[in-house]
Amino acid sequence: MDHSTFVMLKPDALEAKLQEKILDMFREHGISILKKKTVTVDEATILAHYADVIERLKDAIPDFPDRIRKEFVGKQVEIIEMATRHHDIITKVREIVGATDPAKADPNSIRGRYATDTMAKSNAEGRMLRNLVHASDSEETAKKELALWFKSH
């Protein structure tokens, strides 16, 4: 029985042409790609994708929706459904991706190896953190994100 999750290669990963290097890191861990598509991000989809984060940060970072729009709208991302027989694909994928802040990520993780941004830098510049990859944080989130992205594109 395969278990699947949602992964998005963000605009900074595509701009740096890191898609294959990133996908190879997942493949090395026995994770396969079920579906993959390059899409141009529209405002409605990306704001729906980040709705929970927007809600959580509304007091701390009131301009977060604007930061999201600037970083994503009109740019390309690669949306991917990944699968493995591994029962906890979400944990495994997030381990491979690395800590949210690339400065704190394991050097052998995707963010540790390829990301050049840091949380401190992005906060100081009032913009989204450019950390290459989004990976669902739970089975429920994965189902929602897969439906959102693959339905609308």
In the chain, what are the domain boundaries?
A: 3-152
Q: Residue 1: pLDDT above 60?
A: no
Active site residues: 134
pLDDT of residue 87: 77
pLDDT digits (tens, 9 = 90+) for 9-24: 999 999 999 999 999 9
**Model confidence band, residue 63 (pLDDT cutoffs 50, 70, 90):** very high
Q: What is the CATH number of domain 3-152?
A: 3.30.70.141
Say which residues have a Cβ less than 8 Å from residue 92's Cβ, sequence separation at least 6. 29, 31, 84, 86
Helix (H) or strand (E) holding 140: helix 139-152
pLDDT at 44 over 90: yes
The neighbour count for residue 5, using CB atoms within 10 Å, is: 28
Rounded CA-CA distance 13/20 in Å is 10
Per-residue confidence (pLDDT) for residue 15, from 0 to 100: 98
**Could you read off the pLDDT of 102-144 as tens digits, one per residue?**
999 999 999 999 999 999 999 999 999 999 999 999 999 999 9
For helices 89-97 and 19-27, what crossing angle results, to 10°?
130
> Could you tell me the pLDDT band of residue 153, with boundaries at 50, 70 and 90?
low
pLDDT the model gives residue 85: 85
Average pLDDT rounded to a whole number, residues 23-35: 96
